[in-house]
Amino acid sequence: MTRPHRLRALGAVVAASAFAVLPAVPAQADAIRDQQWGLEALHTDRAWQTTKGEGITVAVLDTGVDGSHPDLTGQVLEGKDFIGFGAGSGDRSWALHGTAMAGIIAGHGNGADGSEGVLGVAPEARILPGRVILESTDPSRTKARESRGTALADGIRWAADQGADVINLSLGDDSESAHPEPSEDAAVQYALSKGVSVVASAGNSGDKGDRPSYPAAYPGVIAVAAVDKYGTHAAFSTRRWYATVSAPGVDIVVANPDRHYYIEWGTSAASAFVSGAVALVRAAHPGLSPAQIKTLLTDTARDAPQGGRDDARGYGLVDPAAAIEAGAELSPAGLRAEAAAGYRKRYFGSGPDPQEEHAEPAGRLAPAAGAAGAALLALAVVLWRAGTGGTARR
């Protein structure tokens, strides 16, 4: 890949963490669990009657994951850093976003009975962390943009080769210069061909140009839009042809390496919820292919839009319990050949309108900031810190 490609690939594919820390909200430990409305929305209690994700590995390709966090201890496998420099463990700019996403996917809570902290959608799944981007506050981001442009594509292939069952991509490029990157597309197809489901956030430019986001727009990806607790499409969530399903993305409690808990908004969280849902489906039906699982999610989604699908919410709110039940009627026979063939369609759904298809020149550079339309995470309110009663980070 040429140097201009590298600049685009990492310069714009980011999960920008905008911290607007407000005064701490007084909260007890169990109040964290009380605010996890997304678990109820996804009917996880029903899904957990079958499985909690045991035996499934979800790769979190992000800013790194703090495996020592009380909500994640014992579940984070040895990962790989595709950047090789920047903030390290214990620094204020390390693994914020990745830890938050890992908690949504597979947090097991903490405390004597696990009733405290964040509980994930698939609390018995394992997390395979790959560091493919840096936090927006990391001073080394500019250097990474200039020298680590293949990190995302390399990370996807690595995760597939390491035995991941699901790859979560709570990141994306929906800047004005966003365009398909052949190496990333090929890496996604490689993962699909190995039977790995790939999930990505739909993008956060819904109220800022509504531009397509990559990797969400690559064929075969399960692209996730965000809704609030009432099932209403979040204004920031990108509306595009590739939207597969929707998931909670507003007022989401997330864990952080500083041992605080925050409230987050973004399609990053929605993607993590669906990656957890896919982990549950794969644990219940390990023989199904990525294409079958994607179809299961769309066929069993709840609260479908009028007409069955739209660009704002896809086919509706993901329902892992319903997908697990429907999956029992499917046969995995002959699916290995299907997986080897990969996903051959150019787009999921009807694709963009003809007038929308205008590929950017391959060498066009992303804006230096690289995050204008890619702020997929906003950590806003400190909720609680174990043993301290809630203190705001400065």
Q: Is 81 part of the annotated catalytic residue set?
A: no
Give CA 69 to chain center in angstroms: 19
Whole-angstrom distance, CA of residue 151 vs CA of residue 158: 10
Q: Which residues contact 241 (CB under 8 A, 6 or more apart)?
A: 311, 347, 348, 349, 350, 351, 352
Of the residues 93, 268, 271, 289, which is catalytic? 268
Nearest 5°: phi and psi at 188? -60, -45
Of the residues 5, 69, 97, 260, which is catalytic? 97
Q: Are 297 and 244 in contact (CB under 8 A)?
A: yes
Whole-angstrom distance, CA of residue 252 vs CA of residue 37: 8
Nearest 5°: phi and psi at 32? -60, -50
Of the residues 5, 62, 177, 197, which is catalytic? 62
Q: How many CA atoms lie within 13 A of 65 on its CB side?
A: 33
Q: Which residues contact 188 (CB under 8 A, 6 or more apart)?
A: 156, 198, 215, 218, 219, 220, 221
Q: Is 97 part of the annotated catalytic residue set?
A: yes
Catalytic residues: 62, 97, 268
